[in-house]
Amino acid sequence: MITVELVDDQALVRAGFRALLDSEADIAVVAQAPDGEDGVALAREHRPDVVLMDVRMPRLDGLQATAQIVADPDLAGTRVIVLTTFELDEYVFGALRAGASGFLLKDVEPADLITAVRVVAEGEALLAPRLTRRLIEAFVAGGGGAPPPLAEDVRASLQALTPRELEVLSLVGRGLGNAEIAERLVLSPLTVKTHLARLFAKLGARDRAQLVVAAYEARLVVPGTAPSE
Amino acid sequence: MGARTNIRRRVRDVLASRTALDWLPVVVLPVVLEIDAALSVRGRPITIVSVLAAIVGCLPLVARRRVSFPVLLAPLVGGVVLVLWRVHPENTVVLIPMVALFECALRGDRRQSIWMAVAIGPCVFISVIPFATGAAHVAGIVVRNLLLCLLAIVAGEMVRSRRQSAERMVAAAEQATLRRLSDERLRIAREIHDVVAHAMTAINVQAGVAAHLLQRDPGQAQSALRDIKRTSGEALAELRGTLEVLRDPAQGAPMGPVASLHDLAPLVENLRAAGVDVRLDVEPVAELPAAVDGAGYRIVQEALTNVARHAAASSAEVSIRRAGDDLCIDIVDDGRGNVQAVPGNGLRGMRERAVALGGTLEAAPGADHGWRVSARLPLGTAAV
């Protein structure tokens, strides 16, 4: 059973998502909150597998709430999906960087919403790979100008990576799943998982989404060169 | 009624034109110089030579608004010398450099004025020397004329800085208007965005629910549809409230006739009933853009309302004509021109209408009495 928490200031949106998710046998909505502050408190109480988090909310916005959940060691098993109305803006990018596992547009098809919750709970694949890459490209490239210099901590943690790990990271950055990576590098899926686990640890990443951000920021993937599925 | 006003306007235009102003000193100054010479102690008779010398001496002044002061300097000194040599005026010859200095200070900048103040000393000295009768005499004349020249420069400087600060104030007011307009647009856009985005998101999610669960859970699907109905209804009401702001309160019902400059007669009638005689002088303008037509009508309406309310006027004149690519609207009254431009009197509204079309609007006391509102609305662009 996948447990889900809904955080959104619109009761109707919460009710809609709840009806959709509760209709699935393997998913249960265990908590609902109208703002970030309650969202974080309820997450601590219920420890859901997945939190669907709105961005613009009173009291505490979705970005800060995401950061708090991600930073809480008790909530290491909780994944956050950021919901956005239609703006793929720097806030959503910031949420990914802060540790969100992915983002969804609120007008997502019901079936895709349900799949997204399962994918993120599983932790294997990147949510909405094409959209995610486009968003990250847009904000890492900084609107066509020269890419920003690497942050000191990113540079340091990149130096700790083995050549093989760098290869895996660049493939993750292109949106490839575990099986595809294994095939490309002629490795066993298990070895890929081991490499990924090391990457998560060394880069302090929580999720594939942060690995993609890191791959772009390390310029392992140059904006515009990733294959479009 | 139009013919006489037209002639009056033509005469006024010619008098106000550049050429007339350029030649004015060449006409007036020789007369002054000759009279001064005739009345002077030495009492020279007026001769053709002296008249010609006076005119030629003043001739450099024609170029005073076209060329820079350094270029003007030599002909000016030459003219002064010629006048002193052939006309023998007593004190008035200094008027020639004064006119030039005033005008140059008016058009130039502070640096040029300082430069002129320095340069004029030697020039006065040189032009006086050949005609002086003694050291004391020279010193007296030089000092006095120098002071008068400096006075002209200072006067030009003062008029210029006053004009500039007035221009700056108008520019600042226009800036503030533009900013307010764009702030207002932004606020309304944001409000509409919020209402629409909020409602549409909820409707979209609930519609997804209804479609997804229609077969499996009809009860849930039905309640989702009911939510859609309610949410969309609320959003419509909210939008109506927001868009209400955009409607012109003076226009009444949005279905009413569109205001037009062709329909000024009722306005004029209203004012006549209020005891103000309004003369309309409207030149027909072909293909008046609707935006200009509507804004023009509102400007006239607002200005005439102000005349009735504040001016204590007995008559007013509305003139509308085309000038180049602009529609010029002038509303002049004969009332108290000293009315303060209080913010509440619709001045801002009038200016906003003009600025929104890329035009300008000025409202100020008239030349000798009353109040004048002048609007220029570009006919070419269909802005907004």
Kindly provide the ipTM of the predicted complex, given to two decimals.
Answer: 0.72
Are B267 and B304 within 8 A, CB to CB? yes
Given this model, what pLDDT does residue A223 score? 62
Residue B364 has pLDDT above 70, yes or no: yes
CA distance B256 to chain A (A): 38
Residues in CB range of B35: below 8 A, 6 or more apart: none
Given this model, what pLDDT does residue A229 score? 42
Given this model, what pLDDT does residue B253 score? 43
CB spacing of A10 vs B201 below 8 angstroms = yes
B1 or B75, which is more confident: B75
**Dihedral (CA of A228, A104, A109, B212) sign:** positive
CB spacing of A106 vs B204 below 8 angstroms = yes
Report the alpha-carbon distance of residue B84 to residue B130 in Å, rounded: 9
| Domain range annotation of chain A | 2-123, 140-217
Name which of B202, B216, B217 is nearest A13 (Cβ-Cβ): B202
Given this model, what pLDDT does residue A153 score? 67
Report the alpha-carbon distance of residue B18 to residue B345 in Å, rounded: 36
| Domain range annotation of chain B | 20-168, 177-244, 261-378
**Whether A111 contacts chain B with CB within 8 A:** yes
Chosen for mutation from A12, A20, A52, A112 (greatest number of chain B CBs closer than 10 Å) is A12
Residue B382 has pLDDT above 50, yes or no: no
Fold of B177-244: 1.20.5
Name which of A85, A109, A111 is nearest B197 (Cβ-Cβ): A85
What pLDDT, in 10s, does the model give residues A135-174?
777 776 654 444 455 566 667 777 778 888 888 888 888 7
* Average pLDDT value over all residues in chain B: 81
Per the rule left: phi > 0, alpha: psi between -120 and 50, beta: everything else, A6 is beta
What pLDDT, in 10s, does the model give residues A120-136?
888 766 677 777 777 77
Given this model, what pLDDT does residue A48 score? 93
Which CATH class name applies to B261-378?
Answer: alpha beta
Say what percent of chain B tops pLDDT 90. 7
Query: Phi, psi at residue A8, to the nearest 5°?
Result: -160, 140
What pLDDT, in 10s, does the model give residues B145-159?
899 999 999 999 999
B198 contact residues in A (CB cutoff 8 A): 10
Q: Quick one: closest CA in B to A11, which residue? A: B202
Q: Quick one: closest CA in A to B202, which residue? A: A13
Among B254, B337, B249, B241, smallest CA distance to B298 is for B249
Given this model, what pLDDT does residue B328 score? 92
Q: How far is CA A60 from CA A54, A64, A66, A97, A101, in A?
A: 11, 7, 10, 18, 19
Residues A36-55: what's their mean pLDDT?
90
The CATH classification number of A140-217 equals: 1.10.10.10
A83 contact residues in B (CB cutoff 8 A): none
Size of interface A-B (CB pairs under 8 A): 53
- Count Cα atoms within 13 angstroms, Cβ side, for A55: 23
Given this model, what pLDDT does residue B375 score? 92
Banded pLDDT at A100 (limits 50, 70, 90): confident
Residue B384 has pLDDT above 50, yes or no: no
Chosen for mutation from B190, B201, B227, B230 (greatest number of chain A CBs closer than 10 Å) is B201
Report the alpha-carbon distance of residue B282 to residue B274 in Å, rounded: 22
Residue B257 has pLDDT above 70, yes or no: no
Q: Quick one: closest CA in B to A8, which residue? A: B202
Banded pLDDT at A52 (limits 50, 70, 90): very high
Q: Quick one: closest CA in A to B230, which residue? A: A12
Banded pLDDT at A51 (limits 50, 70, 90): very high
Say what percent of chain B tops pLDDT 70. 88
Name which of B197, B209, B217 is nearest A16 (Cβ-Cβ): B209
Among B197, B207, B198, smallest CA distance to B228 is for B207
What pLDDT, in 10s, does the model give residues B168-209?
888 888 788 778 777 777 777 777 877 788 888 889 889 998
Given this model, what pLDDT does residue A195 score? 85
CA distance A10 to chain B (A): 8
Query: A2-123 falls under which CATH superfamily?
Result: Response regulator (3.40.50.2300)
Residue B113 has pLDDT above 80, yes or no: yes
Residues in CB range of B223: below 8 A, 6 or more apart: none
**Whether A115 contacts chain B with CB within 8 A:** no
Name which of B197, B206, B208 is nearest A109 (Cβ-Cβ): B208
What pLDDT, in 10s, does the model give residues B28-76?
888 888 888 888 766 677 788 888 888 888 888 888 888 888 888 888 8
Name which of B201, B216, B220 is nearest A85 (Cβ-Cβ): B201
Residue B349 has pLDDT above 70, yes or no: yes
